[in-house]
Structure 1
């Protein structure tokens, strides 16, 4: 049976949540429930999911967070490098490239356009490729990939990864419009 690899760019999600949605550093209870993303991936594609959570550990390893990730079923990937190196991006790109040689499916959690070049060849019709992000903040380069077959899932609304609604302004498909939310 194939595996779904869930590749999490936690720094990117945290930065988007803090800078673009909340306008401040998120409190722990405002961050995604990472276990729900792993469950969502397994349930959506009906096969085991292996979560890889990439961390920039250049200035030290956040042991409490690493232990929490392990308890949730993730494999933490702590990385280090120079201040100029985007170690998380480099590692995710290398992982996407390595997945080309496997038959496994891949779900990326990021908004970052730096992954476009590495994710595009994976959309080959032989595997499922997905992206989990806030729709209004995902890099526009992902749009043609969705048209080619990459599946897109909204981090808040599709995965239900948050305990409370976020203060987002998003375009609402008319089929999902509920006037009660505005009254």
Structure 2
């Protein structure tokens, strides 16, 4: 298999990203226009690594399937993975961990969209020469991911690198001086 034949698996922890956006950034439930444009996330993965992308969007659907959202995801190219389980189970985390483990035996690259440090062991096992990345809000991703940079893990900020939002979010972040624009502050 050549590099051109490789595929990127984009695994989206929808609950984690939504909770971080709502609780930590907006401090309220996000309105529809404040949520990521998921087609941009797929396109970013495809363009960044120059290969086909399989987008898997994991979501908890304990009682009802959010059909409109599932149909929207499907229409832009994601494969929704609606899950159910016991209330005490972190069903999305379990499914993503199992998927990361299953990808170990495939010649594929992986982008994980999550802040969750629970995936460190499984993602670390994939840092074996293949391309691996984490898409998240830089200031909220698990600090443990830094240890995987030496093994090749790449970071992509959901807002600034991926440009997944239509408007700037009210974030406080460390700004690289080459990106500093005083007009954002005056």
Same fold (TM over 0.5): yes
**2:6 matches 1:2:** yes
Matches within 5 A, 1:48-67: 48-67=52-71
Q: Counterparts of 1:122 and 1:177 in 2: how far apart (Å)?
A: 34
Q: Counterparts of 1:63 and 1:172 in 2: how far apart (Å)?
A: 39
* Cross-structure match for 1:129: 132
Q: Please, which runs of 5 or more residues in structure 2 have no aligned partner?
A: none
Structure 1 position 143, deviation (Å): 0.8
Q: What TM-score results when the alignment is normalised by the length of structure 1?
A: 0.98
* Cross-structure match for 2:28: 24
* Cross-structure match for 2:162: 159
Q: Counterparts of 2:184 and 2:60 in 1: how far apart (Å)?
A: 39
Matches within 5 A, 1:168-183: 168-183=171-186
Q: Counterparts of 2:26 and 2:35 in 1: how far apart (Å)?
A: 11
SS in 2 for 1:98: helix
Structure 1 position 135, deviation (Å): 0.4
Q: What TM-score results when the alignment is normalised by the length of structure 2?
A: 0.96
Q: Please, which runs of 5 or more residues in structure 1 have no aligned partner?
A: none
Q: Counterparts of 1:63 and 1:103 in 2: how far apart (Å)?
A: 33
* Cross-structure match for 2:97: 93
